[in-house]
Chain A
Amino acid sequence: MKNIIEIKNMSYRYPVSDDFCLKNITFSIQKGAFTAIVGNNGAGKTTLCNAIRGFVPHFYKGELAGEVIVDGKQIVDYQLGQLGEKIGYVFQNPFSQISGVKDSVFNEVAYGLENLGVPVDEIIQKVEDVLKLVNIEHLRGKNPFELSGGQRQRVALAAIIVMDPDILVIDEPTSQLDPIGTEDIFDVIRLMKERGKTVLLVEHKMDLIAEYADNILVLHEGALVMQGPVREVFSDPKYATFNIQYPHVTEVALNLIDIGVPLKFIPIRNEELPKALKMEWEENND
């Protein structure tokens, strides 16, 4: 599989700051992979998203070193407009994430397609599909300014995936949502992966990462300290040193091991804990 995103020795400093907030980062992402970015507050997750999308250093100015290559091409060689089609970016704050010129959710979701010059019939069809997919059909006639935070988050996601980009960069899309809303969003993201999209997701809800993501990037104080398949990273003792949350079941499992209960492997999904206990038990009783 080819790498759709490659980052080499990237460092970045905001214009009014003394410190680099991303330090010498190198990684690559395969086409179609679902990668989660985790880390504590201020670790540089959002800045990393902005760098992949080209907003660093474009909007934020400051100093960028190293290379960012998207789909075989240096990001500096893209025109900003082209990147909009290639990389969909949904960021944290749902309140500023509306176009500000549309009077209904339907038109809001259609906005990106209008900008891309998609024919009107096609726009209407695509928007209908996405409203269904993200489960916001009932909001279609509402003014985006009158929506709740959670509703806006869904609209923001819908407005991006309707444009059908190859890569989705999504920064904490569920911060304003309840558990059911969160599951809905993850279902949509999984569907995107099934459709062959490359997904990068910043998220604090580790249970969901363990369930859905393929790989993890762990950021700590601006450095990329761990990367690899989800299971390997969560079972690596090194992960514990960064004080980042574990999936709940992993946390329980590690406590069990601490008090001397042996486990055959470290579970990261809920259904794996009984399995790990059972395998260990069967081995001992053979």
Chain B
Amino acid sequence: MKSQINEINRNIYDIKNKDEYDFKIKKGLTPEIINEISNQKSDPDWMREFRLKALEVYNRLELPTWGPDLSELDMSEIATYVRPKTKLNNSWEDVPEDIKNTFDRLGIPEAEKASLAGVGAQYDSEVVYHSMKEDLIKQGVIYTDMETALRDYPDLVKEHFMKCVPVHDHKFVALHGAVWSGGSFVYVPKNVKVDIPLQSYFRLNSPESGQFEHTLIIVDEGASLHFIEGCSAPKYNKVNLHAGCVELYVKDNAYLRYSTIENWSKNMLNLNTKKAIVGKNAGMDWVSGSFGSKISMLYPMSILNGDGAKTEYTGISFAGAGQNLDNGFKVVHNAKNTSSVVNAKSISKNGGICTYRSLVRVNENAKNSKCTVSCESLMLDDISRSDTIPTNEIRTDEIEFSHEAKIGKISDKTIFYLMSRGLSEEDAKAMIVRGFAYPISKELPVEYAVEMNNLINLELEGSIG
């Protein structure tokens, strides 16, 4: 199991496999290319049309005028579809060796044995492995790749696909609609409680390419699920793009916990979109660790549509040299007695930039609702940056709302105190940072919490200047 590895080597993320593939589409973004993706994927007609319309929307929409500068992104230099040289397998033994070795190094098959009820693994544009425990299949739980879902459950997919996140939301959602490939589909039937997490892992190996996986989860009335998503890529010199889309439907009295550890390489533009629609007395919890990427713009959103719906966001970002992580959370209170709790932390060092950007909207009908936001940032030196940019739109008086933000530095006194107890300066800083991150890391699945601590130690190695 991953949690038994004491020392982590960043190299495991950076090991590149040869850029071997079954099919790689030519770079760029034209109707011909979209048609070719549709051919390659044997899309039904409605999906082909959907893709082409999304491309039109993409061409119409402008880049965001706020946030990090995305001008270096040149879609004519990105291949949007790379099919690995294997089909979907349900046994690791059938996965080609170099691809299997990649997931072995990331600890996925071991974690599957030790602590997961099901696993999906995507390599470049397609899912190469999917499996779930027998008893969940018997209870009617569906956990498969999106392509299989589109074929086997066309009505369920058509009813929900890009309805929660419509293609007009922003430019990169439209892009996603045009070129999406892979991802996971989960359906948990009414009143079924999935006690052990499901996990999908997304690995992008191919240089100058993009990953556009689509995750669609429906947790039916009274059901519950914990879903974990992990992602990483080796580092290349030119930018890679990730524009995934996550749509979550949490029906009345249901519960979903969605945990993410994102460790993309530092040439990645992570422009991901995640949204949940939460029903009556239902609960939606987001746990998010953001470590990688050159630029990240990621603002998971909960729409509290049912009376008594609840949501919590617990997130941490860690930006080092050359990283601009613009992350945050959006919530819409759209019914009575709804509640939201935000606990966001960020760490920046060596010139890294962390921004917490958020939206809280409380509609007139959301009487007797409650929203508590707390943001805390830690800067490890004078050249790093940290910003908090909250937007609050409150349209009713009958609400409890609080927002608290703190920005801090590690004091020399604290370092001296810890050094007087035998810790080196590096150890002392790492301990302070781990402690700062602890309220978040304790919410992560245990092997990810261990990994996060290892990443913190790694990031702080040699950072004393």
Physical interaction between A and B: no
